[in-house]
């Protein structure tokens, strides 16, 4: 089938972008409120393990998803206490949580499943949407994905509306731009930031569950593979705006999917270069080579107030 490589490319690009979309959507809210969750990768990895374990012991991927959300929210709560209540350095806290998650999930995985285990777990299958699936090329590529793909895209819309049209969105923007002024105006900045971090934790939980019980049916050590860092990069790449961040996530996802398209077209491109491409884009974004958006003025700065 002549269109097969293109279908695989589109399907793979969306699939690979999904965990980044989920994680970056939550991180966007947290950063707009003034808190940088460098621990995002650790939350995703912990949620991936929790989802696999929960699905394994219960036989239900839905229960695994619920346990993943609990695990990521617990980490997000600890991040919020340290970063917001205690005013700890957000970068140091994030790095610490990532190290803890890497070591903790590796230890638990080996204790529960065994060092050389290839244990599979119940997972979510793809949704087959009959009418839409019959659309040439895009139908098989876009409408035979796991339900979490469509949940992720829907949550981008929900988050955009939340930030733009609600009082909570106004509080988030004020807390990230001028927290002292927002505090004097009666906005509970710390509560707003707590909610932002917890929202990021919940979205990281969905991203982790996607990795272990939707995109695959197993947990592997270190399976987040920097997804959290790519999500943070996508937020920077997208200028802290929901739709641009979505575009950045898709760009990273499709850049990663080139490793499937290029060999199918028999092009002589080194595989190592294709594997490196998403991270090159990330470096360009962080280095300020892409776009000129300004970060929230109070990002990473703790609030000192009576609340």
**Per residue in 197-224, pLDDT tens?**
999 999 999 999 999 999 989 999 999 9
Tokens describing residue 301: 């700065």
Question: Residue 49 pLDDT > 90, yes or no?
Answer: yes
Mean pLDDT for the chain overall: 89
Work out the pLDDT band at 307, boundaries 50, 70, 90: very low
With a CB cutoff of 8 Å and minimum separation 6, the contacts of 139 are: 132, 133
With a CB cutoff of 8 Å and minimum separation 6, the contacts of 167 are: none
pTM: 0.93
First and final C-alpha spacing in the chain: 63
**Per residue in 226-238, pLDDT tens?**
999 999 999 998 9
Q: What is the CATH number of domain 4-116+141-286?
A: 1.10.3470
> By the 8 A CB rule, do 8 and 142 touch?
no
CB-facing half-sphere around the CA of 225: CA atoms within 13 A: 13
Work out the pLDDT band at 290, boundaries 50, 70, 90: low
C-alpha closest to that of 148 among 204, 218, 206, 87: 206
**Per residue in 247-281, pLDDT tens?**
999 999 998 888 877 777 777 777 778 788 888 87
Question: Residue 145 pLDDT > 80, yes or no?
Answer: yes
* % of the chain exceeding 70 in pLDDT: 95
Structure confidence at residue 3 (pLDDT): 67
Structure confidence at residue 25 (pLDDT): 97
Structure confidence at residue 291 (pLDDT): 59
Structure confidence at residue 285 (pLDDT): 72
Rg (CA), the chain: 20
Mapping DSSP onto H, E and C, the string for 208-226 reads HHHHHHCCCCCCCCCCCCC
Question: Residue 117 pLDDT > 80, yes or no?
Answer: no
Question: Residue 283 pLDDT > 60, yes or no?
Answer: yes
Structure confidence at residue 140 (pLDDT): 81
Domain ranges of the chain: 4-116+141-286
More confident position, 29 or 283: 29
The rounded Cα 38 to chain-centroid distance in angstroms is 12
DSSP line for the chain: -TTHHHHHHHHHHHHHHHHHHHHHHHHHHHHHTT---TTHHHHHHHHHHHHHHHHHHHS-HHHHHHHHHHHHHHHHHHHHIIIIIS---HHHHHHHHHHHHHHHHHHHHHHHH-TT-------PPBP--HHHHTSTTHHHHHSSSBHHHHHHHHHHHHHHHHHHHSHHHHHHHHHHH-HHHHHHTT--HHHHHHHHHHHHHHHHHHHHHHHHHTS-SS--TTTTTTHHHHHHHHHHHTTT-HHHHHHHHHHHHHHHHHHHHHHHTT----HHHHHHHHHHHHHHHHTT-S--PPPPTTTTPPP-S--
Question: Residue 1 pLDDT > 60, yes or no?
Answer: no
> By the 8 A CB rule, do 176 and 299 touch?
yes
Question: Residue 17 pLDDT > 70, yes or no?
Answer: yes
Structure confidence at residue 142 (pLDDT): 85
Structure confidence at residue 281 (pLDDT): 79
């Amino acid at each position: 089938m002549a269109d097969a490589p293109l279908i695989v490319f589109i399907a793979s690009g969306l699939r690979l972008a999904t965990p980044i979309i989920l994680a970056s959507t939550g991180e966007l809210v947290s950063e707009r409120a003034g808190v940088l969750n460098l621990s995002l990768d650790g939350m995703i990895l912990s949620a991936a393990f929790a989802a696999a374990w929960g699905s394994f012991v219960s036989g239900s991927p839905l229960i695994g998803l619920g346990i993943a959300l609990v695990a990521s929210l617990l980490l997000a709560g600890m991040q919020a206490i340290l970063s917001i209540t205690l005013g700890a350095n957000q970068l140091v806290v994030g790095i610490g949580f990532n190290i803890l998650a890497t070591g903790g999930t590796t230890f638990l995985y080996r204790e529960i499943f065994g060092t050389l285990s290839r244990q599979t777990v119940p997972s979510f299958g793809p949704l087959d949407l009959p009418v839409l699936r019959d659309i040439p090329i895009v139908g098989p590529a876009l409408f035979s994905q796991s339900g979490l793909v469509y949940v992720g895209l829907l949550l981008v819309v929900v988050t955009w509306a939340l930030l733009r049209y609600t009082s909570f969105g106004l509080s988030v923007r004020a807390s990230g731009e001028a927290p002292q002024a927002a505090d004097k105006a009666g906005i509970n900045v710390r509560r707003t930031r707590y909610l932002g971090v917890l929202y990021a934790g919940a979205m990281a939980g969905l991203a982790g569950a996607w990795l272990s019980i939707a995109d695959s049916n197993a947990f592997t050590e270190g399976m987040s593979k920097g997804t959290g860092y790519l999500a943070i990069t996508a937020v920077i790449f997208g200028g802290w705006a929901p739709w641009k961040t979505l575009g950045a996530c898709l760009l990273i996802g499709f850049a990663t999917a080139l490793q499937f398209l290029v060999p199918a077209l028999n092009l002589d491109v080194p595989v190592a270069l294709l594997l490196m491409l998403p991270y090159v884009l990330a470096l360009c974004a962080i280095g300020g080579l892409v776009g000129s958006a300004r970060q929230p003025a109070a990002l990473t700065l703790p609030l000192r107030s009576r609340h």
